[in-house]
Structure 1
Amino acid sequence: MSNQFTGKTAVISGGAGGIGLALAVEFGQLGMNIVIGDIDTKQLAEAEQQLKTLGINTLTCPLDVTQYQQWLQLLDSAEAEFGDIHMLINNAGVGGLPGSIDDTKIDTWKWVLDVNVMGVVNGTQTVGSKIKAHGQGGWIINVASMAGMNGVAYSGAYAASKAAVVSMSESWAAELKKDKIMVSVLCPAFVKTRIHESLRNLQPEYQNVKQQGATKAQSKGGMGQAAALVESGIPANMLAKRVVEALDSKQAYIFTHPNYRQGVGYRSHLLDKAFTDAEHSPIVGHLKDDEIVIL
């Protein structure tokens, strides 16, 4: 396996458990210094102990990814401890609450988008800019979801947030290529994590969402169905090994579940069909041979 990571430093948000911790272990065992930030300070302390027991150089920092200033504080601590940073893994995220467009409250939308989208923006603007500045190149890995490749009924807020992460990753990959920064977006299907328990770390400004979650839990199926799907997923350490494998082959999109190929392929088929329809249109068909303008 690759040794390109040895002696370099990775910052991982949401690194105290689940996917984040599995990636911390994997990259740490490949010789990286690991900086993990997490909103759950109790779990953060447990993760620190686990990583240090494995002999991994570790720094832990409390981090609410929606708070830009906390990213700056983490960055100061990381640079003081390890110097240059070479990898950012924007992993922290929430699952939201299942529900139709009619009954998904605006507070839920704001919570999901604030954590899953703006958390990634905050991380990339702070840590990503430091990777760019030192000129050695590096990696940015944004954790999205298979839901970011296809919309999911009754999970509109979550799917929209992950589609945004995919699009941001594509944009930044083109933008940062000249700086030798490889941007990849990780799109797993179900992984055994605690994402279905996202309400446990709810920020004070979104406490109204907790009542919505309680109502959902009492409804038929409720959050239990989401929990069952998550529990059926692959182990997080399997995902972590797959990420390293994909980085070795320089994948912009990191997929962990090849069985979802048909679903994503059907979307591609519909897109291609839509372009064919536009080509045959008497209204816009004449544009097919025009020069492409990069927006």
Structure 2
Amino acid sequence: MNDNYAGKTTLISGGAGGIGLALAKEFGSLGMNVVIADIDMVALGTAENELKEAGLNVLACQLDVTDYQQWEQCIAAAQKEFGKLHMVVNNAGVGGIPGKIEDTDHATWRWVIDVNLMGVLYGTQAATPAIKAHGEGGWIINVASMAGMMGVPYSSAYAATKAAVVSMTESWAVELKPHNIHVSALCPAFVKTRIHESLRNKQEKYQTVPSKEKVIDKEKLKKNFNAAAALVESGISTELLAKRVVEALNSGQQYIFSHPNYRQATSYRAALIDGAFDDAQQSELVKHLIDDEIASL
């Protein structure tokens, strides 16, 4: 067992499958108590049994991450069962529906925002007091994506929420550092999960009937989902990603990357940003600001 993790407790949203379940197994193998929370009760029961059969200390909790009260209930259950909470993994996420911006359904955007963005906010907001309370420090891991570092055409809702998760992580990392709470953004490229099937768990409140003016091309939609599925299936295993997460935590990383080959994409973005600053520095309108002290909020 690893002394950094042994005897401590992690709560993982979306813990009944995919990345969440792989992280539960990995952290459990390091001696952590594991709380898996998920909206899918059938999958949750199966995952709980699997973890128990592996000899891990596990608690299963129903959780719709868009419901703050359910977050509070899960955290209270974790504290009742294991005494303290040291880590929250904001893993639950959805992929939305790929397509052109002009074909975007507003209810779908709201669903993606509420799960991928508000779910991370709720999880962090609810867990932070519990982690602060014992004074031992801990971890907050927010599952973002490489899409949050570079944008993805035809998947703007997903990319926008993942970019927000990266930005929130950067904000909270500074805010919570004095409390010895390490905040990381996990930004993997393709991983073998069921993210392309996330419509299976779409809550009723986000179900809408398309307007008469908006005709859905079902064949085109099927083609888009098939393409997304092929990319996901080409990815790395969730088990490998889980081990990479622990490796990066041990070396103190704020950004956790799984695919070093994507560095060229972020480097291209950085070059564009540098070029834009060069342009501002040469501007007759704003170049006089170059020596101004950077304001600290």
TM-score class, shorter: over 0.9
Question: Is 1:79–2:65 an aligned residue pair?
Answer: no
SS at match of 1:166: helix
5 Å matches for 1:277-292? 277-292=279-294
CA contact (8 A) 1:141 1:183 kept: yes
SS in 1 for 2:200: helix
Per the TM alignment, residue 101 of structure 1 is displaced from its structure 2 partner at its CA by 0.9
Q: Is the 8 A contact 1:191 1:233 kept in 2?
A: yes
Q: 1:159 to 1:261 in 2, by over 3 A?
A: same
C-alpha displacement of 1:53 = 0.7
Q: Within the alignment, does 1:239 sit opposite 2:241 as a pair?
A: yes
Q: TM-score, length-normalised on structure 2?
A: 0.96
State the AA in 2 paired with 1:252: Q
Look up the match of 2:127: 127
Counterpart check, 1:61 vs 2:76: no
Q: Distance in 2 between matches of 1:235 and 1:281?
A: 48
Gaps of 5+ in 1: none
Q: In the alignment, is the contact (CA less than 8 A) between 1:33 and 1:58 conserved in 2? A: yes
Of stretches 34-43 and 120-129 in structure 1, the one that deviates more from structure 2 is 120-129
User: Which whole-Å CA distance do the structure 2 matches of 1:229 and 1:271 have between them?
Assistant: 28
* Helix, strand or coil at the partner of 2:184: strand
Distance 1:207 1:117 in 2: 19
Contact 1:216 1:222 in 2 (8 A): no
Matched-pair contact (CA < 8 Å) for 1:145–1:186:
yes
Task: Tell me: CA distance 1:45–1:217, structure 2 relative to 1, closer, same or farther (3 Å).
Answer: farther
Change (3 A) 1:121 1:220: closer
User: Bigger shift: 217-226 or 264-273?
Assistant: 217-226
User: SS at 2:56's partner residue?
Assistant: coil
Do 2:113 and 2:157's aligned partners in 1 also have CA atoms closer than 8 Å?
Answer: yes
Alpha-carbon contact 2:99-2:224 (below 8 Å) kept: no
Return the alpha-carbon distance in structure 2 between the equivalents of residues 84 and 147 of structure 1: 34
Q: How does 1:99-114 map to 2 (within 5 A)?
A: 99-114=99-114
Give 1:133 deviation, angstroms.
Answer: 2.3
Distance 1:114 1:53 in 2: 34
Counterpart of 1:224? Answer: 226
- In the aligned structure 1, how far is the partner of 2:261 from the partner of 2:218? 30
Q: Which runs of 5+ in 2 are unaligned?
A: none
Q: Using a 3 Å threshold, how does the CA distance of structure 1 residues 8 and 290 change in structure 2: closer, same or farther?
A: same
- Matches of 1:227 and 1:200 in 2, distance apart? 14
> SS at 1:275's partner residue?
helix
Q: Is the 8 A contact 1:99 1:155 kept in 2?
A: yes
1:221, CA displacement in angstroms? 2.0
Give the Å deviation of 1:249: 0.2
* Identity in percent: 64
TM-score normalized by the length of structure 1: 0.97
Give RMSD over aligned pairs.
1.7
- CA-to-partner distance for each residue in 1:29-60, whole Å, 9 max, x for gaps? 00000001000000000000110011100000
Q: 1:210 to 1:45 in 2, by over 3 A?
A: farther
Shift of the 193–284 alpha-carbon distance from structure 1 to 2, 3 Å rule, reads: same
1:259 aligns with 2:261: yes
Cα distance in 1 for partners of 2:218, 2:192 equals: 21
**Relative to 1, partners in 2 of residues 1:131 and 1:69: Cα closer, same or farther, differing over 3 Å?**
same
Match of 2:33 in 1: 33
Range with bigger deviation, 28-37 or 124-133: 124-133
* Number of aligned residue pairs: 295
